[in-house]
């Protein structure tokens, strides 16, 4: 059900549908997978003897107990195996489960499907490879419920457990290749529970390749939750997943003195990361490459992906990834904190909506490097930053060859900076700011109060669309000219882009561009096109 305070105006369904359908095919091999499926063609089936009736939960449980490679022989047609009790995966050896693209394991809305848990933390290099299979309707049931505190509403409440609706992992490796996760659910609400499909804690790595997550839900991380766990997400699709908790997950402040759910001085009950939520101090780099995030939703932070690194800053990278039609209270697609560097490369953010700040992405306390990327028609309905909100940004950050077009801060007076909100204390190069609009006549329409340094940038229009006053410069020396951008479309490459017309003043006006554009097309570096597309 739509949030009552979200704006009624959304991206045209035809546009979202066309982009979604086109890019489903494009996602197949956008990025080079870091792992490949295990060849199981010579392994005799250990589940079933040729008929659907012989493929049962008991047969699967027995096969996993005694075989390191599990395959199925259930007949020629696809089969669904109901799972009534969670199946424990051994942690002291590697296990491969291959469904041959015919098998669905179904938790019936009552049962978590797999658990792979040992009590150590980030020590184990063994684990599970799951491939060519579907996991549906798994459910993790929460216990240890803590009720809201009427005397202090800031205190955390909800469930202390109930993570991982389809798979729960602790201190074991997990590889997921060509797997569909559909309608799995973690417990809700709760500040530390989540991972509607997958939840991993204290694991040395989770790698997801060529997989699809549809309609999963949890208090945080509607599809995937990672705690103290490094993640690699490659060539995968996340659609319609929901983080349905509320109140975020806070520490201290108004929650000081609260008993908490997982720890003392804890506030909130979740709602972060519509598709993916990542937290912790011990995880390594997080990488997302060739992925798509479509119409995911979070009640609080990050409609698509939430990440906060506690303690030492960590590296976060988004490469050739599409974020479209995601929604959140803040950060319509992304909310990332304490990342160094935070790389956004050859990616598109389109039609994402936040009720508060940052229609597309909110980046806090990070060194941000955005290159060859497009921010198109994102909206902050009651906040600052139609596309980006930058807070406490490292001055070593850069924005280079980026297109900001048609983003909106639509809340009226007091809501402004439709392209970028926050101090631009770093250089911006070869970037176009086009028709990013607000309904505030008195504040900067496209960017912040103080321009950035940089070179070869274009801005349009010259005046605010409400009130008609001259708009603030986004970058010192920016040229005011109509960039003549086309519609968002598949112009080649893995993500949709805006192509400048043949008569656009952006052409040959840039200098020292990256060697290729957002599509991967070669540039004349000396005389290149301003923006993401050559």
Strands (DSSP E) along 290-352, which ranges?
292-294, 297-301, 305-309, 314-319, 322-324, 327-330, 334-337, 339-345, 348-350
pLDDT for res 430: 98
83 and 134 Cβ atoms separated by less than 8 Å: no
Cα(370)–Cα(357) distance, integer angstroms? 19
Q: Is the four-CA dihedral 335, 279, 197, 219 of positive or negative sign?
A: negative
Q: Going by C-beta distance under 8 Å and a sequence separation of 6 or more, which residues neighbour residue 18?
A: none
| Cis amide bond preceding 497, omega within 30 | no
Phi, psi of 255 (to 5 degrees): -90, 0
Residue 28: the pLDDT is: 59
Closest CA to 261 of 151, 119, 161: 161
User: Which DSSP string corresponds to 376-421?
Assistant: ES-EESSSS-SSEEEES--TT-EEEEEEEES-EE-S-TT---SSEE
Asked if residues 522 and 516 have their Cβ atoms less than 8 Å apart, the reply is yes
Task: Quote the DSSP letter at residue 77.
Answer: S
Greatest extent of the chain over all pairs of C-alpha atoms, in Å? 76
Question: In the numeric block, which tokens belong to residue 530?
Answer: 């301003």
Phi and psi of 15, rounded to 5°?
-65, -50
| pLDDT for residue 435 | 98
What's the pLDDT score for residue 260? 86
Q: What is the pLDDT of residue 262?
A: 81
- DSSP letter string, 348-384: EEES-EESSS-SSEEEES--EEEEEEEEES-EESSSS
Q: Which of 231, 106, 112 is CA-nearest to residue 167?
A: 112
Tokens of 63: 């096969």
CA nearest 241: which of 167, 160, 327, 352?
327
Other beta carbons within 10 angstroms of residue 143's beta carbon come to 9
How much of the chain is in helix, strand and coil states, percent to nearest 5?
Answer: 5, 40, 55
How far apart are alpha carbons 240 and 452 in whole angstroms? Answer: 37
- What confidence score (pLDDT) does residue 159 get? 97
Task: Average pLDDT across each block of 10 residues of the chain; the chain has 534 residues. List them in order.
Answer: 34 40 54 97 97 98 98 98 98 97 98 96 96 98 93 93 98 98 98 97 96 98 96 98 95 90 92 96 89 98 96 95 98 97 98 96 98 98 98 98 98 98 97 98 98 98 98 98 98 97 98 98 96 98
- Tokens standing for residue 359: 């229609």
Rg (the chain; Cα; Å): 24
* 263 CB neighbour count, 10 Å cutoff: 12
């Amino acid at each position: 059900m739509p949030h009552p305070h979200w704006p009624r105006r959304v991206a045209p369904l035809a546009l979202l549908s066309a982009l979604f359908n086109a890019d489903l095919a494009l996602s197949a091999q956008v990025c080079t997978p870091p792992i490949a499926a295990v060849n199981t063609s010579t392994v005799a089936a250990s589940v079933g003897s040729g008929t659907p009736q012989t493929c049962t939960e008991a047969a699967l449980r027995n096969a996993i107990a005694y075989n390191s490679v599990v395959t199925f022989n259930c007949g020629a047609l696809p089969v669904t195996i109901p799972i009534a009790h969670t199946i424990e995966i051994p942690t002291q050896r590697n296990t491969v489960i291959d469904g041959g693209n015919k098998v669905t394991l179904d938790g019936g809305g009552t049962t978590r499907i797999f658990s792979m848990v040992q009590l150590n933390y980030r020590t184990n290099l063994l684990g599970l490879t799951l491939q060519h299979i579907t996991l549906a309707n798994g459910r993790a049931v929460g216990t240890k419920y803590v009720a809201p505190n009427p005397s202090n509403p800031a205190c955390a409440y909800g469930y202390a457990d109930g993570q991982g609706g389809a798979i729960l992992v602790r201190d074991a490796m997990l590889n997921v290749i060509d797997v569909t996760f559909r309608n799995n659910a973690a417990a809700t609400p709760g500040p530390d529970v989540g991972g509607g499909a997958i939840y991993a804690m204290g694991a040395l790595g989770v790698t997801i390749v060529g997989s699809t997550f549809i309609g999963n839900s949890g208090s945080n991380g509607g599809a995937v939750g990672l705690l103290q766990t490094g993640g690699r997400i490659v060539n995968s699709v996340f659609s319609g997943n929901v983080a349905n908790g509320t109140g975020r997950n806070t520490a201290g402040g108004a929650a000081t003195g609260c008993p908490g759910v997982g720890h003392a001085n804890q506030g909130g009950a979740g709602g972060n990361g519509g598709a993916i939520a990542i937290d912790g101090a011990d995880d390594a780099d997080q990488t997302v490459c060739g992925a798509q995030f479509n119409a995911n939703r979070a009640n609080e932070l990050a409609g698509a992906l939430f990440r906060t690194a506690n303690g030492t800053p960590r590296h976060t990278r988004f490469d050739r990834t599409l974020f479209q039609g995601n929604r959140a209270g803040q950060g319509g697609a992304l909310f990332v904190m304490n990342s160094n560097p935070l790389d956004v490369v050859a990616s598109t953010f389109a039609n994402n909506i936040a009720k508060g700040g940052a229609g597309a992405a909110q980046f806090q306390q990070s060194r941000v490097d955005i290159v060859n990327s497009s921010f198109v028609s994102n909206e902050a309905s009651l906040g600052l930053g139609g596309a980006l909100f930058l807070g406490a940004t490292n001055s070593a950050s850069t924005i280079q060859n980026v297109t900001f077009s048609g983003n909106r801060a639509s809340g009226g007076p007091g809501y402004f900076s439709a392209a970028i909100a926050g101090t631009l204390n770093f250089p911006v190069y070869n970037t176009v700011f086009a028709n990013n609009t607000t309904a505030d006549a008195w504040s900067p329409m496209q960017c912040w109060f103080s321009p950035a340094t940089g070179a070869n940038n274009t801005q349009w229009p010259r005046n605010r669309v409400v009130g008609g006053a001259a708009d603030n410069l986004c970058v010192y020396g920016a040229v005011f000219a109509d960039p003549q951008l086309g519609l968002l479309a598949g112009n080649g490459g893995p993500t949709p882009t805006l192509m400048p017309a043949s008569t656009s003043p952006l052409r040959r006006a840039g200098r020292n561009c990256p060697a290729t554009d957002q599509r991967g097309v070669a540039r004349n570096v000396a005389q290149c096109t301003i923006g993401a597309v050559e």
